[in-house]
Each structure stands twice: as structure tokens, then as C-alpha cells.
Amino acid sequence: MQTELSKRLGVEHALFGFTPFPAVAAAISRAGGFGVLGAVRYTAPDDLKRDLDWVDAHIDGRPYGLDVVMPAKKVEGVTEADVEAMIPEGHRQFVKDTLAAHGVPELAEGDASGWRITGWMEQVARSQLDVAFDHPIRLLANALGSPPADVVERAHSQGVLVAALAGSARHARKHQEAGIDIVVAQGYEAGGHTGEIATMVLTPEVVDAVDPLPVLAAGGIGSGQQVAAALALGAQGVWLGSIWLTTTEAELPSPALVRKLLAAGSGDTVRSRALTGKPARQLRTAWTDAWDDPDGPGALPMPLQGLLVAEAITRIQKYEVEPLLGTPVGQIVGRMTGERSVQAVVDDLTRGFERAVDRINRIAGRSQQ
């Protein structure tokens, strides 16, 4: 499963694995893929440094990368408190009422409210980069399009490739003009923030639009057969995220959430603004239904929605309130039927890839068997 890009990065398989969990990122790279650690939850630079130090010590010298959420345009002088003040009281009351309707307890006094979606802010993302560039990362990926020009220049000066996610050929061409090295074509099926075009359609469109830049296919991919299909469409690798959520190395916040993921089918996800304010594919729950109800107040724009619901999400997870309990995940969730190690997932992907290639060779009359 090698391509020109995987050889350039020194990895055995053209599998790029995005994950918020350091142990999963390290395991992906040790298994011959390319682990990419998501940085958005790290609001304190020291926490990111601690986890990158851990990755360095447990990755056996294999290459890895970092994914940030960084706007291309800088907004001066805006603090988190300024943004918090923009949240309408009616929306705050809607959160309280929804939690009360499901009997969600308050946090105990002194308990932290958990992850807050502030990694999108300019100053937070730049503090993450200051830490990351002190570590041997080989790739910097940005989930909000092309990062600022000075960030691209800084990465290139340190020999770090820059990738950006795109949901259309038009977005991909903008990345190419901005000096991006790799475009991740993320289709409609993907977990998290995603656009309207399916992976099968999007991938060849992006490949043609940015040729000769390498493209990674993302969205709904979780089998070796799909990896083979992505490469047949012109991609130089695949970008996998959801499939790692139920690995034994993952650190999901509750056993109940793992059970929900393992029981879910491919039709049990929804693109909703309930989590961040932008359309993001996630498990469909009573929480997403409440926010998507036409009779409700509707989600706020990003980043207001993320700040509004941060404590609520923490409470739902802490007390495992199953009707409300969810997470970003793609339509590939239907294939996630049991907990496996990262190595077992990679082995399954490579075996499936080999079977798919053999099948195509037989169809083409080129089988060696």
C-alpha cells in the first residue's frame, strides 16, 4: 500500500490516521501508517507538550503529524470572554431546559467543565504550533482550510509538509494557490465537519483540480477495498478518522459511548450544527434532535455554539446520559462492530486491500495465480 507520498514520508502504508488520542496516533505510526494527532482540544500549551513528548517516546522513531483548527484570516483583539458575551440568554436557557428534561446532574463543585472548543482561535492555534515545531512532526494539517501564509512558510522552513482539508474542487484549488503540499478530499460521509459532496465523486474531482499535488481521500473509508478504490480514483493515500474511535488504545470518555458506537449502523449519523455551529456528522441523539428541531432556537454560528454547549457535553459524558450521549463519527460507524487494537485494524485494511487488488487483476486478466 505504498505510493509516492508514503515513500516520501517514510511510511509503509499510505494510511493517514487522524485521532485526538496520543496512544492511537503512536500506534498507527508503529503499525506502518502515519498517525496525526488532533490538537484542537489542547487549550494549554503545556498539555500538548506533555502528550507530544509521550508520542516521541512511544512511536519508535516513526513519522507523525499534527492537525490544528486554524482560521486563514486573523481577527485581532478578540478574547474568549468577548465571544462568550455574544451568546444569547435564550440559547443558554434552552441548554438548561434540555438537560433538565433528561435529568442530567450538575457538575460537582470544583469539577472542570471539560474540553472547550477554543482551538479555533488564532492565539490558541499559534501556541499549539510553537509547541509542535519543537517536536519532530513531519506534517501539519489544518481542518479549516489553508492556514495563514506565515504558518505555511514556517512549516516549510522546518521541512514540515502542510495539508489542508477540502470539500470541493474549488476549495482544493485555493489550497494549491496558497502553497499547500497535500489536499485531503473529505467527502460527505466523513465524521466531523464535512461538506455536501460524496467521497466517490469528490476524490477524482480534486485529483484533477490540483494535479500534480498529492491528494488523500477521506470520508466513509474503513476497509481495504475502499482504500484500493481511493487509490484507483487517483488519491495517493487515505485519511481515516472514525475507524480508530473503538480501538483498544482510544480514550473515549465513557463505556456507554463505546457501546453506542458499536451498536450503530451507517444510517445512525446526522450532519448537525449542534456541536460546533457548523455542519458536523455525528451520532444522531436526542441532543442533535433538540437542536435540529424547527421549533427550537437553532444552533449558533461557530464558535458560539461550541462555547455554549461545552459544559453540557461534559455533563452528558460524565453521567453517561445515553439518550443525549454522542460523538462526531462518520457513516463508516456501521463497520465498527467490535473493539480491536490499532494493529488489528491496520492488518484488516492491508488484507482487504490485497484482496481487492487481486480481484481487479483477475478481472483484467493479469492474475499471477
Q: What is the pLDDT of residues 191-248, one digit of tens each?
A: 999 999 999 999 999 999 999 999 999 999 999 999 999 999 999 999 999 999 999 9
For cell 435564550, the residue is 90
d(CA 272, CA 192): 9
The closest of 278, 280, 240, 244 to 261, measured between CA atoms, is 244
pLDDT of residue 303: 79
Q: Are 165 and 199 in contact (CB under 8 A)?
A: no
Interval 279-303 mean pLDDT: 94
**In 93-242, where do the E strands start and end?**
139-142, 161-166, 182-186, 192-193, 215-218, 238-240
d(CA 123, CA 141): 17
- List all residues 6 or more positions away from 128 whose beta carbon is below 8 Å from its beta carbon: 39, 42, 45, 48, 66, 68, 119
pTM for this model (two decimals): 0.93
pLDDT of residue 367: 64
pLDDT in tens, 312-334: 999 999 999 999 999 999 999 99
